[in-house]
Amino acid sequence: MEITDTVIAVFADHPAVEAAIKKLTTAGFEMKNLSVVGKGYHTDEKVVGFYNTGDRVKFWGIRGAFWGGFWGLFLGGMFMAVPVVGQVVVLGYIATIVIAGIENAIIVGGISALAAALFSIGVPKDSVIEYETALKTDSFLVMAHGPAAEIARAKTILGTVNPTRIDVHSGANTTAPAVAAAD
């Protein structure tokens, strides 16, 4: 049973997200330990869509190149609707936890699959609500998961890209991503 920490940085725009991911990977962080969450479209767009092209996904809309490029880098991803927030794209480690929760039908308590996944990796309920609010206002979440020393290093790196918020959440069990209800 391995205990990991998670650092979550909130960014206002996709160029900052791209810079953050680039800095983390250049510093040696593996893509399998990173996640990006954000809206799949801009609120003033009328057309939203994507299609699969082999191991890549093509997105339409203002952020199409951004999401399409990242889809190929991350090991897993999904496009989902989150109540109140809207449609979001979830890539990386956190996507596997969301998918596991949905497949196992263990999401309870009236919370979204994304909220349940965040809660299951040790993010407190109040922070989950704040992250969903950030997503609702078109911000992005960049997450890194790993041992405490690596997460401290990731926090330092993410801080150089000027996030609007950055938090470390400690002590999540990574062997069995259990999704529980938020009290």
User: For residues 126 and 107, is the Cβ–Cβ distance under 8 A?
Assistant: no
Q: Which domains does the chain have, with CATH numbers?
A: 3-36+91-173 (3.30.70)
Residue 165: exposure state from Cβ atoms within 10 A (0-12, 13-18, ≥19)? middle
Tell me the pTM: 0.73
Place of tokens 């794209």: 89
Percent pLDDT > 90 in the chain is 31
Predicted confidence at residue 100, as pLDDT, reads: 66
What is the side-by-side strand order in the sheet with 3-11? 77-82, 86-92, 34-39, 140-146, 3-11, 165-173
Length of the chain: 183
Q: What is the mean pLDDT of each run of 10 residues along the chain (183 residues)?
A: 84 91 93 84 44 45 53 60 68 73 54 79 89 90 93 96 95 48 41
- The conformation of residue 75, written as its DSSP 8-state character, comes to S
Place of tokens 């407190």: 124
